[in-house]
Chains A and B, each alone.
Chain A
């Protein structure tokens, strides 16, 4: 599904290197978790996957279903099936959430040469997914994320993910800001989307999320490099001992 090959990334127009040769392959249907200390480059990796142009790729490649996506714009990547659930979803004044959702869904359909959704079809789809995630339709009439609580923003991200049905989902600290019940609801939403054709990259600091969304593989990112990979037990080990041992081993 996704192959990240020797990826070196710096902040555009500076000498600040953030990623220093990341190698990571995620197979179709796989849920990969990335953990790592603050500032290790997890969000940077997620932005680079989504195509944010604040970064410059100096070396390496990202292949999506065998083809490089480096030359693709963020909207082209989205239409191809890449989705990023943001660590900090942006507030966009004046754009009602419903209008935004419809624009997003129909833009992707258009880009793929599919017919646009009718309004009744669209509303039905949103109602269905929103109720699963415990989102009130009244909230969706408001401007996108404006004044949403931290947890509401994260739920809205997962709502978008469910509606857009991407092939590769990157979730950047979706658990932060969610209360215990919401964490369960959101995890169930994510688990419902798990399928042999869909892969996930779940970025988190806590085992708690991985109790609900059980990963196939766990990777530790440190100073812009993956320094250790393993199965789900690696996360438990980190929970127990912290990063010190692994960082020591790698050094």
Chain B
């Protein structure tokens, strides 16, 4: 038996333990004990190897309260609109916007602090999910009726104002042959706050969903996000991720492909600014035969940022005819920039097509010279090449307005940061 010596807690761990001690969730006790004994995950925990939370997480702001006079919808109105849609807004932990009764026809919803949905997808070293279940205050529970096709995007808008933690958990179920677009938006002030939002998404047979994660947090915000999805038969899922802010960001996406003839496409752009640490960790579990998945991330790290991509594809022994392709391409613009990519294939079936590729490059000098030889200044030529590199990801989306809006956000960010 190992004799565990008590660890000395970091400041973040101390305040986290205090928050856990106050939590009324029954899940809190076990998490508290774990953190007390082991602390936050370090690089020695495999799933957190490139994002050593113990070192990187500097604080955990005071325990959130559901009702607090300083909470308002102010932060939400500062969020520039991405696309038209039905907004359900959360400021810190409070639901402040979007009357649930007004949801588009075919969508039912409640926002509340009732029992939380357990994570439907098993996740190894699931720090984010456990912390969320121990501290979560409330969230939206939305259901799309079978056969309904919802044209208006449903926007879950989150903002953090003040030095606080915001812990929310949503559940979205999309019925048989229904289709809908959901946009998770994350915004915060420049104060050091902490956001932990878990969304659990269920696609029934033949459901078609576009799920967007649009993150533009302030420079001091920590965000630990998790999107867990269960895919039914013939379901079609597109996930679009745009990370363009935050100090310490980990976005996990875990997909259990449980229905035959279903398809997943994940496309993402990570714009990693100076002083920012952005980690995207995905797992795709193909548990049945005849499913397809494509995953493409493009990353730009202009100066002094750190990026991480961990992409795992698991193909179960019975999951024959799986076709899964994963690519992660990074543009490092200076020597101070850093990116770690860890693609992982775990394949137990023999009749599958799986591939992954990870590249890290700088801007091609010959490309640069060609553009400059036509009179384009070095600065403009670089910007043109960087834009081209990332914008390709969101070109030719079915929803053109959404593609344009995401590209506009990218351009805006690059103008300011690259």
CB pair B373–A50 under 8 Å, yes or no, is yes
**Across the interface, which residues of A come within 8 angstroms of B374, CB to CB?**
75, 78, 100, 104, 107-108, 160, 164
Is the CB of A117 closer than 8 A to any CB of chain B?
no
CB pair B378–A92 under 8 Å, yes or no, is no
The total of chain A residues at the interface (CB under 8 A) is 31
The secondary structure that dominates the B interface is helix
Is the CB of B345 closer than 8 A to any CB of chain A?
no
CB pair A92–B375 under 8 Å, yes or no, is no
**Across the interface, which residues of B come within 8 angstroms of A53, CB to CB?**
369
CB pair B375–A164 under 8 Å, yes or no, is yes
CB pair B392–A93 under 8 Å, yes or no, is yes
CB pair A78–B372 under 8 Å, yes or no, is yes
User: Interface with B: A3-11, A60-68, A83-91, A209-217, which one?
Assistant: A83-91
**Across the interface, which residues of A come within 8 angstroms of B385, CB to CB?**
92, 94-95
Interface residue from A79, A95, A143 paired with B375 (Cβ < 8 Å): A79
Is the CB of A74 closer than 8 A to any CB of chain B?
yes
Report the minimum CB–CB distance from A190 to chain B (whole Å): 18
**Across the interface, which residues of B come within 8 angstroms of A51, CB to CB?**
372-373
CB pair A95–B366 under 8 Å, yes or no, is no
CB pair B384–A75 under 8 Å, yes or no, is no
CB pair B373–A92 under 8 Å, yes or no, is no
Which B residues between 383 and 399 are near A, CB-CB below 8 angstroms? 384-385, 387-389, 391-392
Which A residue sits closest to B379, measured CB to CB?
A75
**Residue-wise interface mask of A (129-143) relative to B, using a CB-CB cutoff of 8 A (1 in contact, 0 not):** 000000000000001
Please, how many angstroms separate the alpha-carbon atoms of A84 and B371 in the complex? 11
CB pair A92–B371 under 8 Å, yes or no, is yes
**Across the interface, which residues of B come within 8 angstroms of A52, CB to CB?**
369, 373
Is the CB of A247 closer than 8 A to any CB of chain B?
no
**Across the interface, which residues of A come within 8 angstroms of B381, CB to CB?**
75
CB pair B376–A107 under 8 Å, yes or no, is yes
Interface residue from B370, B375, B378, B392 paired with A108 (Cβ < 8 Å): B375
CB pair B375–A107 under 8 Å, yes or no, is yes
Report the minimum CB–CB distance from B400 to chain A (whole Å): 16
Is the CB of B342 closer than 8 A to any CB of chain A?
no
A53-B369, A83-B373 given. 6 additional CB < 8 A pairs? A50-B369, A93-B392, A94-B392, A111-B375, A111-B377, A160-B374
Q: What is the interface of chain B, defined by CB distance below 8 A to chain A?
A: 365-367, 369-378, 380-381, 384-385, 387-389, 391-392
